[in-house]
A and B are shown apart, each in its own frame.
Chain A
Amino acid sequence: MGLTLELEKAGIPAIAIHTHVFARLAKSVATANGMPTARQAFVPQPLVDKSPSDLRAYIEGTDPISKRPFMQEIIEGLTTPLNDNDLKGLSFDRPKTHLLEPDTEDNLRALFEQNHWTDYLPINLPTEERVEAMLKGTSIPRDRIVGRLSPTAFREDWEFDVEKVAVNAVMAGAKPEYFPVILAMASSGITARNSSTTSFAGIGVVNGPVRKEIGMNTGIGATGPYSHANVTIGRAWNLLSANLQGGSVPDDTYMGTLGNPLSYSFVFAENEEASPWDPMHVRYGFKPTDSTVTVFRGGRYMTSGFGPREHWEGKMLRCLTAADARQSPLLIMDPIVAKLYVDRGFKTSMDLIHWMADNAKLPASEYWNEMWVQTLIHPLAVAGVEPYASNLKAAPDELVKVHQPHEINIVVTGGQTQGAWRIYEGTRFKTSTVSVDAWR
């Protein structure tokens, strides 16, 4: 949609084709870009796995939204003279509201639900008193801009200040002492509520002294709902992502077909004291005494294992190659597991990361057939970007590496009741690891 609008601005009449389930979203994006009458035509969903003759039938058929012949929509979209609305576009500004109209608690709760401002679990209403208390958790002025978020790259960025983050932190039930961690997550520019059809969730990992200062759980049940801090920080990141980016509303600002249960809350802390390796934030250039939070986009797959046992390599590689090839692995392991890997010669977590990257391979034909590899990596390979270009030259049966070392992360946590490990999808971005200390 963005490209269509850019071409229009450059004087080239354009029309964008979408599948019909995106009709509302396409209109909403065009409106937010000041071009609500941008020409669009629709074909039925899906396109994937349809034969050329199926697709030709779409082209020769009816637009499922306008109910007119599809090609007539296309041709008229490029040739019908413009009207007044086309010529002026649509300018508008939305109010910057702080306090809502006073109402009863019941009515306000209903309002928040009707407007999709909650996750449908009970919230703390963000009263002035509660927000003031939350703001005491940081020395940063309440009107300081924290960052910008959008549900996805082609949508507009919404801006927010410290006060707006505090409002959402109150709603999540967080305590003021957690607020610097929540502000750091909000400042990352990475949303926990991406609108992708593939249903991403957000995952957060806290490192450094702040973990203990605010009572985060790194022991038994470390990634589960067994700590007020872990749970409410994760919930706050999700609520603020939805509300501060302009919404996470199905069929508008959220299009994930399956949804994701991790989108309630998934933030945990590394058990640095029990780990035999450097904490994750140290691998990204921070000092052990720094407090950070690292945010990942992912959570669409999870595999698990126990050990390492005698033949651990096969199990680990099957887990790594069973998941979607383009999606980065975030390996979470109990300290028992990490220590056993040390016994097997992996003196640092990077040693294990390199082993994983070097050995997780698929036949080239299978690798290139994966949908997102085809959509997102194939164009890079064609453009000559390595290592993808070399993988593209591989014979169909030749084994190609599935992940690069920089895509893999390891976090050690848990209560040492079991030698358990899991691999979640977790993609780290350049802005993912954020100082918590900067927001104290």
Chain B
Amino acid sequence: MSGKIAVYDPRGYAPKVAGKRLAQRLQNLEGKTVYLVDCLFDNSEVFMNEMKDWFATHLPSVKTPMIKPRESWVDDPEMRAKVVANGDAAILGVGL
């Protein structure tokens, strides 16, 4: 052990992570309501509008209501409840 020293680990304590399962997937999107969630980043509304248009052209039976949280980066339980109550699936973008 000569020449060796003991030092502390400078890292904090990470939380325990509990695995969570994904929601069951849909068999297909035919006739389903897929919410397009605009996360409010710059130009994401334009992007989501183009995606809505893509669905209207290629998968017209899919309903794609647009929805936005009240603020960027902040959870919006009211909006989430609306998606859960009225939607079959959700596409969120663009940004974390």
Question: Judging by beta carbons under 8 Å apart, are A376 and B90 in contact?
Answer: no
**A127 contact set on B, CB distance < 8 A:** 5-8
Q: Chain B, interface size: which category?
A: 35 or more
User: Of A31, A35, A79, which is within 8 A of B22 by CB?
Assistant: A35
Question: Judging by beta carbons under 8 Å apart, are B75 and A3 in contact?
Answer: yes
Question: Judging by beta carbons under 8 Å apart, are A56 and B5 in contact?
Answer: no
Most B CB contacts (10 A, CB to CB) among A32, A37, A75 go to A75
- Given A2-B75, A32-B17, A82-B22, are A104 and B10 also a contact pair (CB < 8 Å)? no
Question: Judging by beta carbons under 8 Å apart, are A49 and B43 in contact?
Answer: yes
**A3 contact set on B, CB distance < 8 A:** 37, 39, 69, 75-76, 80, 92
Write the nearest CB–CB distance from A396 to chain B, whole angstroms. Answer: 20
With A and B bound together, what is the CA distance between A314 and B71 in angstroms?
34
Question: Judging by beta carbons under 8 Å apart, are A379 and B72 in contact?
Answer: yes
Q: Does A157 contact B (CB under 8 A)?
A: yes
Q: Chain A, interface size: which category?
A: 35 or more
Against B, the Cβ 8 Å flags (1 = close, 0 = not) of A18-49 are: 11001001100101111101110001000111
**A50 contact set on B, CB distance < 8 A:** 43, 46
With A and B bound together, what is the CA distance between A380 and B39 in angstroms?
14
Task: Choose, from A238-246, A276-284, A431-439, the stretch at the interface.
Answer: A238-246
Q: Which of B22-52 contact A (CB under 8 A)?
A: 22-29, 34, 37, 39-44, 46-47, 49-51
Question: Judging by beta carbons under 8 Å apart, are B70 and A383 in contact?
Answer: yes
Question: Judging by beta carbons under 8 Å apart, are A6 and B80 in contact?
Answer: yes
Show the binding face of A for B, using Cβ within 8 Å: 1-19, 22, 25-26, 29, 31-35, 37-39, 43, 47-50, 52, 55-56, 58-60, 71, 74-75, 78-82, 86-94, 96-100, 102-105, 108, 112, 117, 125-128, 131, 149, 153-154, 156-161, 163-164, 167-168, 171, 239, 243-246, 371, 374-376, 378-380, 383
Closest 8 CB pairs of A and B: A89-B19, A17-B93, A244-B12, A158-B12, A160-B12, A91-B19, A102-B4, A97-B9
Q: Can you list 13 A-B pairs, Cβ within 8 angstroms, ordered by A?
A: A7-B90, A16-B96, A33-B20, A55-B46, A59-B47, A79-B25, A89-B19, A104-B4, A104-B5, A164-B12, A243-B12, A371-B42, A379-B70
Show the binding face of B for A, using Cβ within 8 Å: 1, 3-29, 34, 37, 39-44, 46-47, 49-51, 53-54, 58, 68-76, 80, 83-84, 87-96
